[in-house]
Structures are given as C-alpha cells and as structure tokens.
Structure 1
Amino acid sequence: MDFLPPLPLLIAFCGASVLLAVTPGPAVFYIITRSLAQGRRAGLASVAGVALGNLGNALGAALGLAALFAISSIAFTVVKYAGAAYLIYLGIKALRRPAEVRDAALGTADTRRIFRDGFLVALLNPKTAIFFAAFLPQFMSAHGSVVGQSLLLGATFVAIAALTDTIYATAAGTIAPRLRGNKRAGAAGRYVTASAFIGLGLFTALSGSSRAK
C-alpha cells in the first residue's frame, strides 16, 4: 500500500516515537499538573484532549500547515501567542477559583471542560505541526503517498504518546486523592497549579521552534 512506509522504517519510527513520548515535555507537564490538582479522571480527560489536538496538528502538517508556519512568521506568532495566552488564562482562573470550588475540585472535575482545555492547549501550539513536519519525513518512503504516510505516522505517534501520557496521568492521579481534605496541601496545590499553567504560557510565548511534546 502506498500509504505504508517499508516495515523497517515503520519499526524504527515506533521505537523513536516511544523514546520521544516518554521524555517529559510541556504536554506531559500539563497532564501531570491536571492529574495532581483534580485527580486521575481529570488527567485522563486531559490526555484525550491533548491527543485530539496533536492529531489535528498532524493532519495540519500533512496538509501543509507546517510549511505555512515555516514561511510565515506572522501566522506562527499569532497561533503561538494565542496558545500561550490560553495557558496563562487557565493559571489565573485556577488562582482565582472560589475556595469551596477548589475544595471540591478533586471529586467533581468537569471532564468535558478539561477535555476542551487539553484540546485547545495542544492545538494552539504551532511547534507541534512543525515537529511533525520535521520528524515524519525521516521515516517515509519517497515512492509512497506523502499525505497518506504523514497521516499514518502522525496518528501512530499520537497513539503512542497518548499511551505514555496515560501512564503519567494514572501515576499522578493516584497521588491526588491523598491531597483531599488536606487544607494546607490544597492551598499549596492551588498556587502550584496556577504557577505551572502561567509558567507554561510564558515558556510557550518566549521559546523558539522546538519539539512540543
């Protein structure tokens, strides 16, 4: 099939993807923060949202979005700052959340909202599309369909990353219930969560093109 790279390349791609996926990056940090602050359920919702956003970037890379970002600094900058602003907004929102809502956060996480947040955080990161555009061609056959192979490899990477992210979310979510009822830990957690989101936003805004995972 012209959308499948040769088997040796596919195996090499899967190995490289696992190594990249297990290396903590902004997306992993975001998922761990959510899991610690709101529990395993919230972490898994974040994993699903981030995976869908990354899949959107893989599709965008396959269709030439990455090429647009590479040649248009304005397009890249607009999307990058939109994503950074959204992360900072989430941090400020966590900091200003009423006390009674914060105390109940572990047990009543709104998974639909958290899924949406994860999706937007991942989708509004143009570096992900550029990463796909730089990484995927290394494992593609020149004789196959460029778009087909890009979509297949992109979806494979997203699936592998979602699996490793699930492990991170599950581990962090296991710790989260121990924080329930501990007012001192809850107050500290609020500031840590807010600082993490704001820090990620500033990091996104100030960083150049690099691997986004």
Structure 2
Amino acid sequence: MPQAATLWWFLTASLALLIVPGPSVLYVTGRTLDQGSRAGLLSTVGLALGDLVQVLAAAVGLSALVASSETAFNVVKYIGAAYLLYLGIRRLRTPVTPIDPEAGPAEPAAGGRILLDGLVVNALNPKSTLFFLAFFPAFIHSDRGPVWSQTLVLGLVFVIVGMLTNGCWGLLSMLVRGRAQQSKGFLHAQRYVGGGVFLALAGAVLATGSTSQ
C-alpha cells in the first residue's frame, strides 16, 4: 500500500496531467457536443472502464508484455485505430436531422453502445499502455508491498480523477452546446465535429510508436 505522502503526490500529478485537454477530453467533449449530456456522461464512464482495463493489465504485467513486443503492440494499436476510424466514418455518414420544436423528444442514443465505445477506445489505446508504464513506477516502492497491489491502488486513484476531470469538461461542453443550438448551422457542424474528433484520435493512435522501436 503506498504511503499517504506518495498518494498525495500521485493525486496532484494525475490532476495536473488530466485537467489539460487530451484525447480523452476531446472524446468526451466531442460526444457531448454531438449527442448531449447523457452521451457525454456515458462516454466518461466508458473511458474510465477502459482505463480500469489498462490498470488491471499493468498490474498483472500484460502492459509490459505489449510494450516490449512490437507485434503485440501493433496489433493493439491497429485494432484501436480501426475502431476509431469506424466511429468517425459512421458519424460523418449520419444524416443531419433538423430539430422540430413541435415534435416530441428525439429517441436517445443507445446507452450501452455509447458506454462500450468509450471502453473500447481507452482499453485499446496503446498510449495509455505506455503512459502507465512510464508514470506509475515513479510512485511505486518495493518496500511498500507487492508491485501489483500498489499499481491497483494508484490506478484506481487515476481512474477516479480522470472521471472527475472528464466530467467537468463534459459539463462545460454541454453549456456551450446549449448556446450553440440556437445557431442554424449547429446541427450541420456538430456532425463534422463529432466525426472529426474520432478521426483525429485514430490518427494520434496510429502515430504512437512502441518502446521497442
């Protein structure tokens, strides 16, 4: 179990890293602007579950295996990038449906699908694998117990902080979305914003190199 001082410094460092807009923030804000607060919230939870998968993998040494094997790393990278490309193209091909103020509320997007999308995006993100391998060792001490248990504790702290910061960005995006919906061009633009975010994230994943290269 990490010491209280170690947990404090880890919490501070995690907050400083996660509060700055990155791929996860872009994903949540893109979903929120595109599909509303519910989709943003479910995406935040999905990303957290994906991070939890990465933490569990790091705890049992799978992340180190993936990072040390160029073949395994590339398999994860290309599957993750392909999934992001699929999401982006699907969104760009979705027709724009104008809001009819006299019609009832639109049918909400499938919550399970949104949650799964977020989970898969983060669970198959090789940048997360490399990040945990590079960031966590600085806060793990061999005299404080098994490495796997310390990794789990630090990982849970990281996941919780990530959910809070992503949630805050999603809330800010919802406020912007509420104002933007008054614009006639918003419905047309949000399709390209949502699709463009997915395609940009796919490019970022493809640009990631393995530690063995």
For the criterion TM > 0.5, the same-fold answer is: yes
Q: What is the match of residue 124 of structure 1?
A: 124
How far off its partner does 1:175 sit? 2.1
Distance 1:16 1:31, change over 3 A: same
- CA deviation map 1:90-149 (0-9, x unaligned): 11101111333x859976232221111111101111221221122112112211111100
How far off its partner does 1:27 sit? 1.1
Q: What is the match of residue 115 of structure 2?
A: 115
SS of aligned partner of 1:46: helix
- Are positions 1:153 and 2:183 aligned together? no
CA–CA separation in structure 2 for the residues paired with 1:103 and 1:77: 43
- The one-letter amino acid paired with 1:141 is H
Gaps of 5+ in 2: none
Distance 1:209 1:33, change over 3 A: farther
Deviates more, 1:114-123 or 1:169-178: 169-178
Gaps of 5+ in 1: none
- CA deviation map 1:63-110 (0-9, x unaligned): 11121122200111111111111111111101111333x859976232
Distance 1:92 1:103, change over 3 A: farther
User: Of residues 1, 5, 11 in structure 1, which corresponds to 2:8?
Assistant: 11
Q: What is the match of residue 187 of structure 1?
A: 188
- The one-letter amino acid paired with 1:113 is R
TM-score (norm 2): 0.89
Distance 1:29 1:156, change over 3 A: same
How far off its partner does 1:20 sit? 0.9
Deviates more, 1:120-129 or 1:199-208: 199-208
How far off its partner does 1:43 sit? 0.5
CA–CA separation in structure 2 for the residues paired with 1:122 and 1:159: 15
User: Of residues 32, 51, 56 in structure 2, which corresponds to 1:54?
Assistant: 51
Q: What is the match of residue 140 of structure 2?
A: 140
Q: What is the match of residue 209 of structure 2?
A: 208
How far off its partner does 1:152 sit? 0.6
CA–CA separation in structure 2 for the residues paired with 1:106 and 1:82: 32
| Count of residue pairs the alignment pairs up | 206
Alignment check: 8 A CA contact 1:58 1:154 kept: yes
How far off its partner does 1:194 sit? 1.3
SS of aligned partner of 2:108: coil
How far off its partner does 1:180 sit? 3.8
CA–CA separation in structure 2 for the residues paired with 1:209 and 1:74: 9
CA–CA separation in structure 1 for the residues paired with 2:187 and 2:57: 39
- CA deviation map 1:18-37 (0-9, x unaligned): 11110111111111100111
What is the CA RMSD across the aligned residues, in angstroms? 2.0
Alignment check: 8 A CA contact 1:41 1:173 kept: no
